[in-house]
Amino acid sequence: MTEATGIWIFGEVLFDTFPDGTAVLGGAPFNVAWNLTAFQTAPRIITAVGNDAPGQIIQKRMHGWRMNCEHLAVAPEYPTGKVTIRLIDGEPSYTIEENQAYDNIPLDCIPNRTDGFLYFGSLALRTAHNRDVLTELKKRHQGKIFIDINLRPPFWDKDSLLALIQDAHWLKLNEVELALITGGKGADTESQARKLKTDYSLEGLVVTCGSRGAFALGPDDNAAIQVRPEQVQEVQDTVGAGDAFASVLLLGLVRSWPLQDTLKRAQKFASGVVGIQGAVSTDSKFYQQHLQSW
At residue 93, the pLDDT reads 81
- DSSP letter (8 states) at residue 209: -
How high is the mean pLDDT in each 10-residue block of the chain (294 residues)? 70 90 90 96 96 97 96 97 83 86 97 96 94 97 95 87 94 94 82 95 95 93 87 72 94 95 94 83 91 88
At residue 1, the pLDDT reads 37
In a domain, 83, yes or no: yes
What is the residue range of 133's domain?
Answer: 7-293
Question: How many angstroms separate the CA atoms of 126 and 118, rounded?
Answer: 18
In a domain, 101, yes or no: yes
In a domain, 230, yes or no: yes
Other CB atoms within a 10 A radius of the CB of residue 32 amount to 33
Nearest of 11, 35, 265 to residue 147 by alpha carbon:
11
In a domain, 152, yes or no: yes
Give the total number of structural domains in the chain.
Answer: 1
In a domain, 173, yes or no: yes
In a domain, 202, yes or no: yes
Element (H, E) at 291: helix 284-293
Question: Are the beta carbons of 27 and 13 closer than 8 angstroms?
Answer: yes
CATH code, domain with 234? 3.40.1190.20
pLDDT digits (tens, 9 = 90+) for 230-288: 775 577 777 788 999 999 999 999 999 999 999 999 999 998 888 887 778 888 999 99
At residue 232, the pLDDT reads 59
In a domain, 34, yes or no: yes
In a domain, 2, yes or no: no
